[in-house]
Structure 1
Amino acid sequence: MAVVITSLILFLIGLVLGGGGIWLASLGGSWYYIIAGIAFLVAAWLLYRRKSMALWLYAAIVIGTLCWAVWETGFDWWELGPRGGIIVLIALWLLTPWARRGLAGPDGRAPLILAVLASIGVAGYSMTTDPKDIAGELNTDKVTPTADLGGNVPAGEWHYYGRTQYGQRYSPLDQITPENVANLQPAWTYRTGDVKGPDDISETTYQVTALKIADTLYICTPHNFAIAIDAASGKEKWRFDPKIKLNKDRQHQTCRGVSYYADAKIAAGQPCAARIYLPTSDARLIALDAANGQVCPTFAESGTLNLLANMPYPKPGYYYSTSAPLIVANKIIVGGAVNDNYSTQEPSGVIRAFDVDTGAVIWNWDSGNPDQTTPLAPDQTYTHNSPNMWSTASADEKLGLLYVPLGNQTPDQLGLGRSANVEKFSSSITALDLNTGQLRWVRQTVHHDLWDMDVPAQPTLVDITTAGGVVPALVGPTKQGDLYVLDRRSGEPIVPVNEVPAPGGAIEGDHTSPTQPASDLSFNPKPLTGADMWGITMFDQLACRIEFLKLRYEGRYTPPSLQGSLIYPGNFGTFNWGGVAVDPVRQVMFGMPTYLAFISRLVPRADVPPPGDTKGSEQGLNRNDGAPYAVILKPFLSPLGIPCQAPPWGYVAGVDLRTGKIVYKHRNGTVYDMTPLPLPFKVGVPGIGGPMITAGGVAFLGAAVDDFFRAYDLTTGRQLWQTRLPAGGQSTPMTYTVADGRQFVVIVAGGHGSVGTKPGDYVMAYTLPK
């Protein structure tokens, strides 16, 4: 009976591989599956006829598959395993007495044993090597011992989203080092009580980076509570509830940070001498007394600024701030998120500078009308649907410049009818005069963006030593993987940027740019091929290969299409809002490049179903009301729901900014929380969130879709420590000291709705033992 069942299994495998292989070959793919399918069918027939030649043939299948797999992938265990795992398991079964009972003819055990041993040998060797790894060491020289950190922030504090106006995510604290970081232990845990509820939108996320001023931490929550916490004990000092209402039209329910300002005109200890500014998801900006959380009534209208003023199409849920405003030169700089791909009737992406004391508009820069920066009259409106800043700006007060990361115009995947200003400013890093809002320079990172390649992260400012001397620089990470290293005075490249040919063939009425900018410092991955398709087994890998060849794909910047286009890197971003961290003393950078392919398929308006309860999100059907096409966006996943492209999907990486070279790149994260069983396999998983580095030479990062918080040696990128988080850590950590001199590291663990990590409401603090 065992022989009959085994032959039936081989027969069914042969049918699947053969049938799927014919389909794949008809699309221009590998012929291996046809050959393997035929071999399985013949082996099934021989086994059914009780012929020992079945074992000889199966040994040939094992060896043939092994040679083909190594030829396609090299010695990468994670790519070899799916190709041969089931085949080797069947070979082991065929060597048992039950599977061989009654077989006649020359004994086929020896060749099959040799084939299995060869496979095990290759597997064993591949587990000791990683062809995707780049090993190296960043310099440890203090190139600029008195580096400009961007403002007068005390060493033990964290006053801005990126610690200073420069957005470096670097702390000069050095108590925690590579030698002692493994001794970190929990100091305290605080729970906000704000958790994702059953009526919340899917992308309810907790992404805040805490501020630390004096002895207090300041945070916000997904539903926009502002909370003050004692930095040493984790005890709540006060909380403020803005009483926002849920709105299904919002794409995001999140808060990445609050802003802090100390008013030199008000004596310390007086009401609102120091203030916390809270952005809300119903488009308000609220000024709170940092001492007690009371509203500061002299700001704007009784303490609240209406961010929908002068907005076209001021529909609830379509415009709000998810990121912390930047306070600089007595101005509070506010951008906003608009709903991607809901409608062409969207609010403006205007950037506004408000008086930090009164809330009055000082200037407004609207990328749709960039020359008029004087405040509008009450009856005027900004340009609707202009490129926006949904992330955070950075600033250099000495140069008098503000650096703005801009997104794209909705719809992201359609370029029909865009204005000259949209074409100029979309998906760019733009420098504005800090005092007037006038344009100083613009550096576009994508021409005629059809891929949602917003500049997603706060630009990081750092002075870099070049052959021509020390240059005030800007590092701008992008979704497509390029890192722009620019002279922040002029926007001119320090690391070369070239125009390279790009695919054409947009839909009728649209066009593509014949070239696209490409930085010489880039984490842009190699173009995908059929050999890069992946699966847990050879069956879902075969399905991914077929799907890959059904899609349009001509490399980076393949235009969206009616048949469906593969977009890689996808709009999730190689880098997203978490950005990068820079050590300005060593002039090195630490980041977390992520790789996930997406599918973009245009849907003619006549084929778009009527709206249901929601208008769409960033995944699934995006309606693009008012445009001739909707778009379906989704990650490129196998039938089992895992990425079709082979891992790694996530790395940690180090860059020497003086040379513009990638020094190391290592897989980051495990599939512990991606599989039904908690498997600690270090595959290299996606992540969203940001890193933080310290003068002690340690980098800290949560972000990965497994629920761990990790520390790395900044010099080598090797992991030094990890701790389990009670929820997803899709936020950026920070660090500070308390009165007794101890250095604390804090991360928020609350999960991310889009990537499916565990929701929570935790603020976690760690320190070394006393």
Structure 2
Amino acid sequence: MEHKSISTLLKLYVRLIGIVLILSGLILAVGGGFLISYGGSFYYLPMGIALFLSGLSIFTLRSWGVVLFALAYIATVAWALWEVGLDFWPLVPRLVALTGFAALVAFAYPSIMKYRKGEKSYWGGYALGIVLLASLGVVFFQSLQTHYGYFATEKPVRKTVSNDDAPTDWQQYSNTTKGTRFSGAEQITPDNIDKLKTAWTFRTGDIPENSGAGPEDQNTPLFIDNTLFVCTPFNKVIAIEPETGKQLWKYDPKITTPNWQRCRGLAYYTPVATEINQADLANAPTMDQEKELAAPNEFAQTNVTASSDKANACGARIFMNTTDDRLVALDPATGKLCEDFGDKGVVDLKLNMGDIPPGYHGPTAPPTVAGEVVVVAGRVADNYSTGEPSGVVRAYSVHDGHLVWAWDPGNPDTKTTPADGKMYTRGSVNVWATMAYDPKLDLIYAPTGNATPDFWAGERTKYDDEFNSSIVAIEAKTGKIRWKYQTVHHDLWDYDLPSQPLLYDIPDGKGGTVPALLQTAKSGEIFMLNRETGKPLAEVVEKPVTQGNVEGERYSKTQPFSVGMPSVGNQTLKESDMWGATPFDQLWCRIEFASMDYNGLFTPPGMKKTLQWPGSLGGMNWGSVSVDPTTDYMFINDMRIGLVNWMIPRKDISPNASGIEMGVVPQSGTPFGAMRLRFMSPIGVPCQAPPYGTMRAIDLKTRQVVWKVPVGTVEDTGIMGIPMHLPAPVGMPTLGGSLSTKSGLLFFAGTQDFYLRAYDSHTGKEVWKYRLPVGSQGTPITFISPKNGKQYIVLTASGARQSPARGDYVMAWELGQ
């Protein structure tokens, strides 16, 4: 057959399309074969064969390849709609790339036909190609719209709250010790927030490195007596004039911590007007009696001059934990150490702890002031070994720093200092999250972690299993355990409790209230308990869960599911839930999913690849929740990234294994190390469909979700970590806390893009956002200046987690004219 002449350029174009289809078909066919071998979808193998054959035909300029591609494309559209319906983001990897190929094939069709049949016009191919490209334009436009969740359509009925319940300063980490993150300030409203402007910007001088396990700015400032207090990742405390951003004083403890430097917050104590009853504290040991096992430390400060004539005794005081295990008391007016507290203003938290290798222990959460004691705990370095430093919780007198009581989760018989110079129990359950305190009940609520390591627990003690992943109510005066409630039995998933509990009085439907505690968990569960008794107020059901088969491990047959409250991002995944930016990485994710052990929430780690969903980050993390008492709405942000893990026999573990973030963790002292990997595609995209982070409001009266929206865009992140500079509201992993105000606003900045956002807390609609110089992991606060009567919003911003863009900013906003 005689062929007609077409230009060399057109022939090259057609053959390049053929090559692309051949290669794409090979990838899909081979991958599809693997997927079928694991019991997965049958779509990819025949689709790959069809693309391969159509590519061969088009490469040789034969028209039947175009027909075959068209049939395959139509079949793909039908399959995609059958598998995921009209859900926008799941359709993207199934159809977008293939639609792009279809447009290229359509543009090639006239050249192929001209080559085969002469000069006859085949302009229909060009027209179809334009239509297909236009459809991609529609997809791009739709990618900038919200495709998850819903807004509330009706405004809630609001109730009045007293000023006592809604202070307009910010004296504790969550404003109060109850974990509310609510302010009664209401100058800034949804109607005038468009006038919000920056008041000032302050630079701390501490820029955290982006090393994964290094320093991070996750601070929540305090505002007390017309002074703003922030602490940097290196535990430097800075006092700032709130109206101008001018530094008033700075304290530098010169920490020596080699990793995981954070200062999430400070605590504040002011003497009560009534006489302090010291009888409750009389039986505690003196400071001299405590100095048994640890050498004294050097304490340093800059920009502060110590009193030269007599000890600097303080009335009110600010407390800070340092990550190298010190409890510091500062005079809020001067920044000087309160020399009547501890050893000239400092308590050494290494006492009776034994050997603490650098970086293995240190508080990152703020202390908790509970009446006349200040309570501290600490983080331990996960998964290095058994026998890591103790998870002891200790209470010190706010006045002189002597130890009042201690709760050693590994030895409940220890009430203060261990007997006969012994240590607190090593490797015990710890409390790394922020605690809450109810002044009326005089109870501290401690959310616990796990005995180290996380993924092997065959040799945990009875106390380890009794107290892991639990809420423990402790009497503030005595340290006595009032009650405890466990959220995960024999935890093998690092599902420790990461967040400060919310203490809130729930309407009982009879005109009264019930004292409740709400605890969010990494597992995506939300527990509502009576905080007086520890009994569930929302139904919790013990359900059977998958049992593992790792030699020497034991497994809980059931786990608690809080069915009376909404769950967040812990649905059982299916293969069709796998995602990717293209069909190729989506196929990779589907193969990975199908090849792994996974049977829903609480699938235990095993000797082969196991999927843990949610992963060890959550679910919900340390940012906790906020609440609006005028509506009884609780606001929750989450993240959704799965974890791939498997156990590795001890003989196969490298002596250099560390795995602080991801990789091989040694778990020394056990028969197994473990591999931990985020469930991501090769191009750095999470393997499940968006969203990856959300914000929602739950009505605590009805226990129903009122609204939910994705939070964060790919403007400052994207494929292979390269910012896409697109405001597509995919919903990115969140890390940080929210702020709720009486005026009906919800502020949040803990996203992967560089914005402080405000939402209408009644509907979920975004009403304002401000472009930050870098991302933030901080929690915004608000207050009213007594000097000028203005309401301010303040936030620290030094970089989103895993973002290379870093800074050292403290920023304030006020209403403009």
TM-score calculated relative to the size of structure 2: 0.89
Match of 2:86 in 1: 75
Letter of the 1:141 counterpart: V
Residue of 732, 735, 741 corresponding to 2:779 = 732
Contact 2:209 2:216 in 1 (8 A): no
Distance 1:216 1:506, change over 3 A: farther
1:481 equivalent in structure 2: 524
The 3 A distance-change label for structure 1 pair 337 and 573 is same
Q: Secondary structure at the match of 1:13?
A: helix
Residue of structure 2 in register with 1:425 after alignment: 467
Structure-2 change in CA distance of 1:571 and 1:527 (3 Å): same
Structure 1 distance, partners of 2:667, 2:242, is 45
Q: Tell me which residue corresponds to 2:300.
A: none
In structure 2, the residue matched to 1:508 is 551
Q: Which residue of the partner structure matches residue 570 of structure 2?
A: 525
Q: Distance in 2 between matches of 1:568 and 1:426?
A: 20
Deviations 1:568-595 (A, max 9, x none): 0011111100000011232111111221
Asked if residue 670 in structure 1 is aligned to residue 718 in structure 2, the reply is no
Runs ≥4 residues deviating over 6 A: 105-109, 111-116, 118-123, 128-131
- The answer to whether 1:173 aligns with 2:185 is yes
Q: Work out whether residues 75 and 131 of structure 1, in 8 Å CA contact, stay in contact via their aligned partners in 2.
A: no
In the alignment, structure 1 residue 60 sits paired with structure 2 residue 71 = yes
Q: CA deviation digits over 1:405-436, x for unaligned, max 9?
A: 11111111111111111111100111111211
Out of 794, 797, 801, the residue aligned to residue 746 of structure 1 is 794
Q: Does 1:185 align with 2:197?
A: yes
1:319 aligns with 2:364: no
Q: 1:236 aligns with which of 243, 247, 252?
A: 247
Measured in 1, the distance between the counterparts of 2:315 and 2:205 equals 29
Report the counterpart of residue 764 of structure 2 in structure 1. 717
Once residues 318 and 14 of structure 2 are traced to their aligned partners in structure 1, the CA distance between those partners, rounded to angstroms, is: 74
Deviation larger for 535-544 or 100-109 = 100-109
Deviations 1:46-91 (A, max 9, x none): 2234322222222212211111112222222222122222211122
Would the aligned equivalents of 2:208 and 2:217 in 1 still touch at CA under 8 Å?
Answer: no
Q: Which residue of 50, 57, 62 corresponds with 1:51?
A: 62
* Whole-angstrom CA distance in 2 between matches of 1:607 and 1:743: 59
In structure 2, relative to structure 1, the CA distance for the partners of 1:432 and 1:492 (3 Å cut) is same
- From 164, 169, 193, the counterpart of 1:157: 169
Amino acid in structure 2 at the alignment position of 1:657: L
1:428-443 aligned at under 5 Å gives the runs: 428-443=470-485
Mean Cα deviation higher: 123-132 or 441-450 = 123-132
> Distance between the aligned counterparts of 2:163 and 2:261, measured in 1?
37
Amino acid at match of 2:197: Q
> 1:143, 1:603 → 2: CA distance?
56
Partner residue, 2:264:
256
User: Deviations 1:371-427 (Å, cap 9, x if unpaired)?
Assistant: 442443471221111111111111112112111111111111111111111111100
The aligned residue for residue 453 of structure 2 is: 411
Alignment of 1:129-148 (within 5 A): 132-136=148-152, 140-143=156-159, 145-146=161-162
- Give, as a single letter, the amino acid of the residue that structure 1 aligns with 2:327: L
SS of 1:95's equivalent in the other structure is helix
Give the superposition deviation at 1:121.
6.3
Q: What is the TM-score with the length of structure 1 in the denominator?
A: 0.94
Indicate conservation of the 8 Å contact 1:139/1:656, yes or no: no
Q: Equivalent residue for 1:127?
A: 142
Specify the alignment match of 1:14 in structure 2.
25
Cα distance in structure 2, aligned partners of 1:748 and 1:556: 35
| Counterpart in the other structure of 1:363 | 405
SS at match of 1:699: strand
In structure 2, the CA distance between the partners of 1:113 and 1:260, relative to structure 1 (3 Å rule), is: same
Structure 1 unaligned runs (5+)? none
Q: Equivalents in 2 of 1:526, 1:113: separation in Å?
A: 44
Per-residue Cα deviation, 1:234-262 (whole angstroms, up to 9, x for no partner):
11000011111242xx4x11110111122
Query: What's the offset of the Cα at 1:115?
Result: 9.7
Report 1:540-551 matches (<5 A): 540-551=585-596
Residues 708-751 of structure 1 deviation map (CA, whole Å, 9 limit, x = unaligned): 11000101111111111112211111100112211111111012
Q: Is the 8 A contact 1:204 1:752 kept in 2?
A: no
Deviations 1:672-693 (A, max 9, x none): 1113331211111111001110
Aligned equivalents of 2:62, 2:799: Cα separation in 1: 57
Is the 8 Å Cα contact of residues 139 and 715 (structure 1) preserved in structure 2?
yes
**Aligned residue identity for 2:739:** M
Structure 1 window deviating more from structure 2 (275-284 vs 376-385): it is 376-385
Alpha-carbon RMSD across the aligned residues, in angstroms, is: 2.5
Aligned to 1:700: 747
Match of 1:644 among 687, 693, 696: 687
Letter in 2 for 1:526: Q
Match of 2:584? 539
Kindly provide the CA deviation profile for residues 269-301 of structure 1, in whole angstroms up to 9, marking residues without a partner as x: 985222121211110111111111111112111
Distance 1:291 1:369 in 2: 40
For residue 816 of structure 2, what is the aligned residue in structure 1?
Answer: 769
Does the C-alpha gap of structure 1 residues 381 and 537 become closer, same or farther in structure 2, counting only changes over 3 Å?
same
Rg: which structure is higher? Answer: 2
* 1:223 paired residue among 199, 221, 234: 234
Q: Which moved more, 1:110-119 or 1:479-488?
A: 110-119
8 Å CA contact 1:185–1:767 kept in 2: the answer is: yes
Is the 2:107–2:126 Cα contact (8 Å) retained in structure 1?
no
2:125, 2:388 → 1: CA distance? 68
- Supply the distance in 1 between the matched residues of 2:470 and 2:111 (Cα, whole angstroms): 66
Secondary structure of the structure 1 residue equivalent to 2:434:
coil
Deviations 1:460-503 (A, max 9, x none): 11111023541011111111111111111111111111111211
Aligned residue in 1 for 2:304 = none
Taking structure 1 as reference, are residues 265 and 464 closer, same or farther at Cα in structure 2, changes over 3 Å only?
closer
Q: Does 1:385 align with 2:417?
A: no
SS of 1:603's partner is strand
C-alpha displacement at 1:702, in angstroms? 0.5
User: What is the distance in 1 between the residues matched to 2:529 and 2:726?
Assistant: 42
SS at match of 2:116: coil
Q: Which residue of 1 aligns with 2:295?
A: none
Would you say 1:397 and 2:439 are equivalent positions?
Answer: yes
Task: Write the distance in 2 (CA, Å) between the matches of 1:181 and 1:758.
Answer: 28
- In the TM superposition, what whole-angstrom CA distance separates every residue of 1:646-694 from its partner, at most 9, and x where no partner exists? 1110111010001111121111110111133312111111110011100
* 1:266–1:291 CA distance, 2 compared to 1 (3 A): farther
Equivalences, count: 758
Task: Give me the whole-angstrom Cα distance separating, in 1, the residues matched to 2:339 and 2:163.
Answer: 39
Instruction: Confirm or deny: 8 A CA contact 1:257 1:324 kept in the other structure.
Output: yes
Distance in structure 1 (CA, Å) of the matches to 2:766 and 2:670: 48
The question of whether the paired residues in 2 share the 8 Å contact of 1:59 and 1:115 is answered with no
SS of 2:673's equivalent? strand
Q: Percent identity?
A: 39
Of 430, 455, 458, 2:500 maps to 458
- Alpha-carbon separation, structure 2, partners of 1:499 and 1:144: 38
Using the alignment, how far apart are the partners of 1:761 and 1:138 within structure 2?
Answer: 40
CA distance in 2, matches of 1:366, 1:123: 61
Contact 2:754–2:775 under 8 Å retained in 1: yes
**How far apart in 2 are the matches of 1:414 and 1:138?**
49
The C-alpha deviation readout for 1:599-655, integer Å capped at 9, x for no partner, is 11211110011227xx33032221111111111212111110111111110111010
